[in-house]
Chain A
Amino acid sequence: MKRETMINALLALGLLAVPLWALIADEPFYITLATRVAIFALAGVGLNIAIGLGGLVSFGHAAFFGLGGYAMGVLASHAQSYTPMMEWPFLIEGSNSMPVIWITAVIASGLAALVIGALSLRTAGVYFIMITLAFGQMLYYFTISWPAYGGEDGLSIYIRNGFPGLNTLDPIQFFAITFVILGLALVFSTLLAKSPFGLALNAARQSSERVETIGITPYRLRLTAFVISGMITGLAGALFADLNRFVSPTMFSWQTSGEIMVFIILGGTARLFGPVAGAALFIALEQVLGGLSDYWHIYLGLLLLCVVLFARGGIIGTLAGEEARHD
């Protein structure tokens, strides 16, 4: 077995072992931590398709994370107050069913990614980073100033949404949902990287000119990748909102975009399990350092600096050595 595959397997087992141990030891807090890791990793898997495969450094993925969150918040708040979302021209009611919420989250963030991507992808480099950032901030201020759904205070949902056949309030069952979704996203991400689309997208990252010369338009590849990427991050947002049973404009803030990017950089850009490793380390640091000092982000910053300067491949790259993502 290749070294990276082994590391990936260990990471997956580790992410499964912690909550199982916590279940036996009756420490539900650690189940919640593992759930956060799975959800953050999922958000990172989404962003990694844009950054790692497409070379599209989006600093606005909070937009999709937040839209996923608000898809949950809006649907569930209507369900909990028994008020329809819309009565005319046709009736739309709220919902507290996870599958319905997920589909809504994925569609909403996909549409947003289509619009944001269509405009931002006309630029590149620093301009692209700035424009995606600006779109994220626009949504942030919009939700703050939109009183119908809690404005600045956000929205609380009293009961976690349901999934047929499961008790989602049981931490381990909710963890299982997020773990399975993360697994599916990772499988999809692997297939994508090896597919004809992945080959072309990855080539466009390296040389636009090359891709044009063989008769494929890089813009279309990138827009498609951006939409897929936004959808996955949006789904993570819906799960995150359900974990907390709370949504607020913070989900849209640039800090959220930055954190999702940090997962990828820490774990290893363009590495399949990079976001998993990065999210796990992030949560571990938050627990350990956060307990020692309120300013733990300073240490996180130092660590990031070291990774960028000395270990470009992140955790996975350092452990697995020479990259081998296309064979």
Chain B
Amino acid sequence: MTDPVLSVRGISKSFGALKASDDVNLDLQPGEIHALIGPNGAGKSTLIKQIAGGLRPDSGQVHFLGKDVTLLSTVARARMGLARTFQISSLAMEDTVLQNALLGALGAQGKPFRFFHPVLKDSALRDIAETALSRVNLLDHATMRTSELSHGQRRQLEVAVALTLNPKAFIMDEPMAGLGTSGSQNLTTFLDELRHEAPILLVEHDMDAVFALADRISVLVYGKIIATGSVDEIRAHPEVRRAYLGEDA
């Protein structure tokens, strides 16, 4: 097996008596989509926060590109090429769609301390931003204010911003939520191709999308990974069926 792009090693995190992450091990191989599923409140978003920065685990490590990044800031991890999309959009709502995409391009370029040249006239940044928007079919909405987008469109914009970073790995928290059937299908097709640019750790409730996309699936229940395997293995796993797919054993 090749070296994983991302690997989570024995991460635990408690909030008081609640174990949100319980000795979690997980990795992301080059070119793969690794889906993380689990019921509401299982600790998926909490795990993502520890991987992307912003929440320090009580114990365990996160390795990214062969480096221990457990103690690095969110900014440092982003600069290494870790791109994250949020379950609850954290876009600049007052800004336009294009401005949000430009912000991503600016972050990737790493030179925000320029005070005189209008950012909208910076053709290098604009190219990156517009390409990313067109890839998620949002270019027509470029001049719209982000707060006017539907929830689904905000998710797409989250993905577009992640694209502008040209990252080494994507971590996506429920990118399909609120998209509707045809929207999810489009995004599914898109992510299917995207995995060849960089592997994706995908948290998703939409099981059609998960089963269509995932090379591997990990199931998180009460902060613990109870199974990791291929789509068929997970479908057949009795404990998974009981705990997550809501079937009687």
Contacts and interface: CB of A to CB of B under 8 A. Distances in A.
A212 B54 contact: yes
Contact of A200 (B103, B117, B120): B103
Contacts, number: 107
Contact of A213 (B52, B94, B102, B106): B52
B75 A216 contact: yes
Given A206-B95, A210-B91, A196 B78 contact: no
A215 B75 contact: yes
B114 A197 contact: yes
Interface in A216-266: 216-217, 221, 224
A123 to B, nearest CB: 18
Interface residues of B, number: 43
Interface stretch (A105-113, A187-195, A297-305, A307-315): A187-195
A212 B113 contact: no
B103 A195 contact: no
A195 B125 CA distance: 12
Contacts of A216: 75, 106-107, 112
B15 interface: no
Contact of B74 (A206, A213, A224, A326): A213
B165 interface: yes
A196 B112 contact: yes
Contact of A196 (B74, B83, B90, B114): B114
Given A214-B103, A326-B99, A195 B78 contact: no
A80 interface: no
A202 interface: yes
Given A196-B114, A197-B113, A197-B114, A215 B90 contact: no
A209 B90 contact: yes
A194 B120 contact: yes
A198 interface: yes
A194 B119 contact: yes
A213 B23 CA distance: 25
Interface string A170-207: 00000000000000000000011011111110110011
A196 B106 contact: yes
Given A206-B95, A214-B103, A199 B78 contact: no
A72 B235 CA distance: 78
B115 to A, nearest CB: 5
A202 B95 contact: yes
A211 interface: yes
Contacts of B75: 212, 215-217
Contacts of B53: 212
A203 B53 CA distance: 19
Contacts of A206: 92-95
B28 interface: no
Contacts of A191: 115-116, 118
Contacts of A203: 92, 95, 99-100, 103
A122 to B, nearest CB: 15
A68 B70 CA distance: 45
Interface of B: 52-54, 73-75, 78-79, 83-84, 86, 90-96, 99-100, 102-104, 106-108, 110-120, 122, 125, 143, 161, 164-165
10 contacts: A195-B117, A196-B117, A197-B112, A197-B114, A202-B92, A210-B91, A212-B53, A212-B54, A214-B78, A215-B75
The 5 A-B residue pairs with the shortest CB-CB distance in the complex, in nearest-first order: A214-B107, A215-B78, A203-B92, A212-B74, A215-B107
